Structure formats: C-alpha cells, structure tokens
Structure 1
C-alpha cells in the first residue's frame, strides 16, 4: 500500500542528467567573468539551487554584481549543451510508468526555470509523462531551495497535505527544503555522496531508480 498521496520529483539530476552539463557550463562562464570556479566548486555551491543563489553568493564573496544578461547567457549556453548531450536519468521513465500504472499522483518541483524544465523534458522524451499543471518552478514562488516555498506551493497546487507528500531529491539544498516543508524525502546518490544527503536529513537513500518504487511502497 502506498504511504504517500503525492510524489514530488526534483528535475535536474533526478529525472534528467543535466547536473554535470549545467555545472560545467556554469563554472566556465563564472571563470570567464573573472570569478574563478571549478566544476567541483559549482557542484558544491550551486547544485540544486535557483539562479538567484549564484548572484547572491558572487555578490557576497566579491562585492561585484554579475552582468544584467547573466541569466539569459547562462541558459542559452546550457540549452546548447543540452542539445548535444542531455539524457534522461536511467530508469526515470520506468518509475513514472510505475506511478501511472499504480494511480499514484506525481509532479516535478525544480529550482530551474519553466523553460529549462520543458527543454530538458523535450530533449529526453520525458515530456509525455507530465501535464503542464504538474510542473512547478522556483519562478513560481520567488525563493528557491533550501526554503520550503516551492515544495509547499507544489503540494498546495496538487491538493495534497505536506505530510502526505514525499520528495525525491539529489542535492542537500533540496533535502533541506523538503524537510522544512514537513515532507519525507529520499535521496538519489547518482552524483551526491550519501553522507551529504544524510547530513541534510533524508529519510532514505537509493543509488538506482529501480530501487525507488520499493522505498515508496
């Protein structure tokens, strides 16, 4: 018997394998702008967060603001890389198929923009599994993860109490947001070390999508 009334998926790194691509592009762009950043530092500081966090941290650390066209240029470069490289997370489509067959509602709540989510789903074929009303972005709430706003907005929009929701995440910031929203959360260790997700407060860990249905049941 299903323990939850709604499964909320993070997108980047959970449904689409975009984190290596986007963090490589981000690190290179920040370095180009005079803010030397390695790929590993980008993963550590920005993975799972909305783009406003990049602006906030750069300003806090350097006292300099990023260019006005930073977001537009960053997304353009990421989308170009998506065209060449983006793949779905192995097993993601099968998990969504399982949820549909089981009659279990689900949605996606991502720090990325609506455009980024749509582009990623279209490139990987996952768009067939999501109605527009099942897609939520940090754009909808103003404050992204680690605040709980996005997950609470998704639950409210889907008509489910937070305590009856479970979140599937791969970043410590996302785990913190889910816990702050009063939701259970399972951590995908595809890119993030298990200990970092454990420290953030996950209820359980899994390393392959095929393991997720059993955790949810």
Structure 2
C-alpha cells in the first residue's frame, strides 16, 4: 500500500459518482457527441473535461447568450439516456460495508441527473448527495467536498475522497481531504492521489471503533 494512506483512519468517505461508483461513460459520450454536433463543437474541444460541471464546460465553448439553452439541452440529453449505467466493480460491496451515516456522494452532475443515474444503476443512495446545484463553485473548486463533509458533520481533514478525475482530485486536495483514485476513466499517470488503484474492487474497507480504513486486495 502506498505510504499516503497506510495506517490512516477516517471518519467518513466521500465518493464521486460517474466513473467512480457508476459506469456512465457510454451514455455520457453519446449525449455529449449529440450535443457537440448540434452546437458545432469538435471532439478536441471537449477533451479533458471529465469531472468538470457541464455549465463550466459550456461557458468555455458557447457564447453568453446561448449558454442557458445549451445547458438545458445537454441536461435533457443526459437524463434521457441511461442505457448501460451500472455499478462499477466494488461499488456495491463498499456501500454495503461502510456505515450509511459516514458516506456521501459529491458529483458534478445536476440534481436531476444525479438522482436519475443513482436510480438507473440501483446503487444504494447515501443520505448526503451533493450536486453542482448545491454549491457556488463546482470541481475543481473544493466546494462540493466541503459541503459533503458539512452534511455528514465531520471535519474535511478526516475525510477520504474517492475520485476518478484530475479535477475532482484537485478539489479534494483543496478541501483538505485525503485522496483515493481509481483508474476507471483516466490513465494512472494523470491521477495525483495518496493511493491509486484500478477500481473499488481493489481495496477492502474496514470499519472499527476508531473509524474507517482500507487495505489493498489482490
């Protein structure tokens, strides 16, 4: 195990959703491909935006007077396409093992999209789900993880964030959280975290009187 998490104990775990808990990549690609064709945006212009809120992506690509319509359209496309949205390896075991009051989701999705993907994937829904609609600034700003920690009633410095995207990891570090990265959507060399593993099936969660810890498996 990498030194960064070895022997550490946490009060809570905050999970990103897309690419971390659920595999929504095919649906995301389909929706954004359709949107890009409709808006004259190239595939190159969309590169490197994983984990970034849709509104932030659109703000870089669409003139001010068209942003509201563009955001409404991508939201419509994504909510309509839930085919193949399923739990990633290790997700169900993690959410069944960890105490429900010590788990949160912090996602760059809007509230309607997050709830739709949680239902479609049938993953257990934590009581604390923070979406881009709940914060002033989305990832890579720390706001989503700070809000999740507040919702759980814990110190961000005692939280472990699980992410698959550089923007999310940047946000977690800015919030003062420890980081676990999964290589489900991003090459390992681009993920700067305390520990990097293939997916959630590569770790075993342990819950004790002092808190939550994890060890690698396999």
Deviations, residues 92-145 of structure 1 (Å, cap 9, x unaligned): 111111213xx771110101011111111111111xx224x4111121112100
Does residue 130 of the first structure (1) align with residue 132 of the second (2)?
A: no
Deviation at 1:208, TM superposition (A): 2.5
Q: Which moved more, 1:167-176 or 1:153-162?
A: 153-162
Deviations, residues 34-72 of structure 1 (Å, cap 9, x unaligned): 12225xx53x3321011221122114xxx5654532222
- Which structure shows the bigger proportion of residues in helix conformation? 1
Q: Which residue of 2 aligns with 1:72?
A: 72
Question: How many residue pairs align between the two structures?
Answer: 202
Q: Which residue of 2 aligns with 1:45?
A: 48
Quote the Cα distance in structure 2 between the aligned partners of 1:166 and 1:67: 34
RMSD over equivalenced CA pairs, Å: 2.2
Does residue 99 of the first structure (1) align with residue 98 of the second (2)?
A: yes
Cα distance change of structure 1 residues 122 and 93 upon mapping to structure 2, 3 Å threshold: same
Cα distance change of structure 1 residues 52 and 174 upon mapping to structure 2, 3 Å threshold: same
The list of structure 1 runs, each at least 4 consecutive aligned residues, that deviate by more than 6 angstroms after superposition, is none
Quote the Cα distance in structure 1 between the aligned partners of 2:75 and 2:133: 14
Q: Which residue of 1 aligns with 2:210?
A: none
- The match for 2:134 among 135, 140, 148 is 140
Structure 1 length-normalised TM: 0.84
Quote the Cα distance in structure 2 between the aligned partners of 1:114 and 1:30: 22
- Which structure shows the bigger proportion of residues in strand conformation? 2
Deviations, residues 164-199 of structure 1 (Å, cap 9, x unaligned): 00100000000000000111111110110001112x
In structure 2, stretches of 5+ residues that fail to align are: 1-6, 207-212
Q: Equivalences for 1:1-217 in 2 at 5 Å? A: 3-38=9-44, 42=46, 44-59=47-62, 66-82=66-82, 84-100=83-99, 105-126=102-123, 129-131=124-126, 133-198=127-192, 202-213=193-204, 216-217=213-214
Structure 2 length-normalised TM: 0.84
In structure 1, stretches of 5+ residues that fail to align are: none
